[in-house]
Structure 1
Amino acid sequence: MLTRIDVGIFSLFGKKDKQPARKPTEAESSQKKREDSRVQAKNENDYVQRMAAHATAMKIDAIESEMSSEFVKPLPFSGNTMPGPASQFLNTNVRSPDTQATKVPDTATHLGQPSMLPDIMGASTAFLLGAETVIGPVAISKSEAPLAIEEAAILFANGQTDLIEPVLLNAIAEDSSGEARLTVWGMLFDLYQVTGQRDLFENLSIEFANKFEMSPPTWRVGGSAENSQAPVARNNTIPSIAFPAKLDAGIIKQLERIKNLAEMSPVLKLEFARVTQVDPVGCGLLLNILKRLQKSGHKLILVGAPELAEKIQAILLVGRRDETEAPWLLLLEVLRLLNREADFEERSIDYCITFEVSPPAFVSPQDKVTTDHEETAAADETSSDHFVMPVLIDARSDTLGQNIAAYAHTHNPVILDCSQLTRMDFNAAGRLFGDLMPLISSGKTIELHSPNHFIVALCNVMGMTDSVRIVPRKN
């Protein structure tokens, strides 16, 4: 038997079960260093991509923080837009009455007496007191209409609808408008219609029928500011926004214009024909705008959208994340709006592989998006001899005169359909009439069909009734 000492000696000097660890060769050491270097480079690259994506997202958020968060459905009124500073027009010799702003003294409706409406009227008071004011190329002079009609027309043009009712009610109560009294009643009907006050409209209808023994105007469904939805205008009257050659942070001007135009038109045309370059920031901004326009129910006409999709695709690479998600999501959104489901699904797979997330689902645009070619074809099928005017004409209607001039090139008489036109801003009206004067001088006949009483009165105030032919509404 082995003693305890023998076992110890055997374990100390005997053959060992395990071989000594083999030292790695030089080639193996080099390979391991290369692998470690690649892992470190990948980690550094991932970090750089994450930081770049974060910086891009922060830049998009910073730009959008300067804009309103939501678009609203288009309404005909956009607030109070005065022709100029009140101090430029007010007659300081006229004392404002010590009454509430909505009260109008009886003397305000008598011809030949100065207007005593409060100073909030701004340019309206000054106009009625002065002999002549020039806005743009159009000279504005006193008309032969009763003072109440002039005041109401200018207040309405300025969007000060809360001051109009007492002016018209005073004129009706005093019956001081002479032959123009039907115009006063008609303006009050239009006021109630535009502001959605149907009960007052119906009550006024009863009074009108009893007084004049004739049928009163009828309430037009969808004709109020609360639920007005203008029909799709013809192609040459649709507000258009053209994007520059580079789709980047510099498109902020186009985005602001879209935001403004979205308030006055349910249809917008976005033109991408000039775009040659795109970057992640511009893609993120455009993506958010498209989402909001879809949410607010606007109809979109996309010009050059297929080419835009190609430009976006050119900067993308499967597995590379340094562009952030914005270009990928914009590409998917454009393909969705174009109803290209097969392309959408293919790019969705690439997006899923790159970001290891589920892609957005394909949802058809529900016939709210068309291409320029489709819209032009639809316009040709429903062509008309009338130029459809927008719901609202204000400072943002800067291309309206050019569109009318283009229409007038092939039409005479130039028939402007005002059936959906609710209001003309004071300054914008002067600019529009200034744009119409060269057409009139060249021999064109300008006709305004179906304008409301406020539009007619404003034309009279601005001295345009001798230059344009007005065809009033039948009712």
Structure 2
Amino acid sequence: MGKEDSGRLLSKVAKFVRNPLKDWSELDAPESLPADNGYSREMLKEMIERRQRNDFVRRREFDMLRKLRQREAAGGTPESAAAISSFNMSTSGKSEGRALTLKKIDEIEEQMSQQWWKGRAPGGGDAPPVPPATPEAAPSTEEAARRAQAYADTEPGMAPPGEHAAAAMAAGREGAHPSGLEDAAIRFAQGDDAGAEAVLLQMTAPESPHADQNEIWRALLDLYRATGDAEKFGAASTRYAQRFKRPGPEWVSLRSLARDAQAGIDAMPAPEAPPEGLEQEADWACPEVLTREGLAELTRALAAAGPVWHMDWRRLSVVEHDAAGPLRALFNHWADSPVQLRFDGAHQLLAVLEKAAPTGDRSVDVVWWQLRLAVLRTVHEADAYELAALNYCITFEVSPPPWIDPRGSYTAMDVGVAPAPAVYSAEPSRAVLMGHLGGDCQQLLLRLDADLKNALMPTVSCAALLRVDLEGARALIDWVAGHEEQGRRIEFVDAHRLVASFFHVVGVTDHASVSTRSK
């Protein structure tokens, strides 16, 4: 053995002494590698042992679970039986507690009922009456009966008798419009003055239950005013003063008021006549609200008309949006065609369109501006067209359609009538009903429409109104219902009692307000 071999042997023995767990053949490897390999092997060995222990514990737990399930399937275990018994005990305890609670509630209700119903004994029978402290304190039999009758309807649990409630409702209705007064109003409307007077005299008789009602007496006095019987009015006014201990109403002749009102209307100047040679009936009159159906009626009317087309726009107040486009096309067609047009109320049409197309509001549909420009072109208003076109340019920031001379001819039928803007007054605007309202009263209602055209609070004075028959009431109901649909509620003031009661009977008060005269 050489010197080098002996040296390697000694170093190998020294390594073996430092690492006795290593194999002899591994001592020739570098020192770093054996250390790393040994450390890795130890770690792997520990991980394997830990996994084996975990697997053993898991298998043992699974075995226990399988055994428990097998026992439950076979008929239960003592532990489960104990659990069931404990559950039954808890539920039975809860049931007993609930029973005790219900028992206490019953006892409290029994105690409260004894306190509320003083005459009820705890056992359910009637308790003996408590004797009074002194004989003087005990009420008499008559007094007890009177008290029992007075407080019978207020006893707890007792509803008031049905006939009492019905009588109270009937009394309320009688107080507002007694049936006798309505009967007299109907007789008066039919021209039976004597029958109406007989009914009212019977109601104002001293033995009548209505003898103390002020409205019945005032209706009788209004009857004498309407019939012009001053002598009977004076006698009835004296009885009224004696009955109510105050002066009676003064005599007013409603017939004289009606004559004065008619004379005032006759003295009013007649409306200015149109230029000579232009008087003719319109081929088509525009309604207040122009719709697509209204445009269809317009085309049918013009198809049946002659070479000159006469249209009346004075009643127009609104053009519906779905009719704006077809109406624009119609006006453009008229402007481009050799037609002869005659308009009444062209200023009203332009005012409605100007309101529908405000300057500076870009949210408005452009069709309203186009319709307005088409109408101005059709009626030969070049200057107004240029101004509207400038406002159109300012609003939409685009060039407006240029002016093109219309091919047709146009004549304004209301020449000399200034297109004054509508001025709505906050003060009540009054129209007048006078005399006898009946039969064909369409002209009278048209006059009322003209008088109330710009009124925010339309009021009709009935101070000079003598009588309204059934036909007049029907026409009046249609008239007030039409105004109510437009959001305007008519108010009739200073009507005498028989007319006001008749308005209530026929249903005028369902669509209008009615107030009676105060004097």
Would you say same fold, with TM above 0.5? no
When Rg is computed on C-alpha atoms for both structures, the one with the higher figure is 2
TM-score bin, normalised by smaller chain: 0.3 to 0.5
Q: Report 1 or 2 for greater relative contact order, CA contacts < 8 Å, sequence distance ≥ 6.
A: 1
* TM-score, L = length of structure 2: 0.34
State the TM-score, normalized to the length of structure 1. Answer: 0.37
